[in-house]
Amino acid sequence: MDTLPKDPAMLVSAVNMLLRDDEFDTLESLCCNFDTEPLALRRQLLLEGYTYDERQRQMRPVGYNGADGANRDSMEVAHSFFHQKWNIYKASTMDWQKDDIEQAIASYVATMPPSLLQTLSCGREGFLQQHHNFADDLRFATEALEKILF
């Protein structure tokens, strides 16, 4: 295989096959071989409803076991909160209002199921907690949850 497939279902299948057959020992080594950023691949597949399980070394449907806290209820609560805050944030012209939203989201993130945060962040440190990435992170989290839930 010279390139990774574009079709999401084929891409998940190819990634899982390459990892399962021990052709690559990590998602990062697989991505390096195909000149793909691991974070970009994880984000692309999250928008299709798949998350990478480090322990099993495979892409799995989001919330596949539910026991880790990334269940439908926790995703709906997160989506509702993020969606509301994103709509205000993106339309706001007031820095203080945006700062208040960043603080509210940071407080919420501290209490949400760690596995859900891990899923949405695709493993990136500081997700939804750093000012310089906040708008992109909140937009992505809202979009990912919408695609997963609806």
Q: Which residues contact 89 (CB under 8 A, 6 or more apart)?
A: 97, 98, 101, 135, 138
Mean residue pLDDT across the chain: 92
Say yes or no to pLDDT of 70 above 80: no
Upper half-sphere CA count for residue 30 (Cβ side, 13 Å) = 27
CA angle 89, 94, 97 (to 5 degrees): 55
Contact status, residue 136 vs residue 122, Cβ threshold 8 Å: no
* Beta-carbon count within 10 A of 59 CB: 23
Query: What's the Cα-to-Cα distance from 72 to each of 26, 75, 104, 119, rounded to whole Å?
Result: 28, 5, 22, 13
- The pLDDT of residue 66 is 56
Q: Tokens for 60?
A: 């799995």
Q: At residue 134, does pLDDT exceed 90?
A: yes
Average the pLDDT over each of 7-21, 43-57, 77-91, 128-142 and give the range with the smallest value: 43-57
Task: Kindly state the average pLDDT of the residues 98-115.
Answer: 95
Cα–Cα distance for residue pair 38/74, rounded to 1 Å: 26
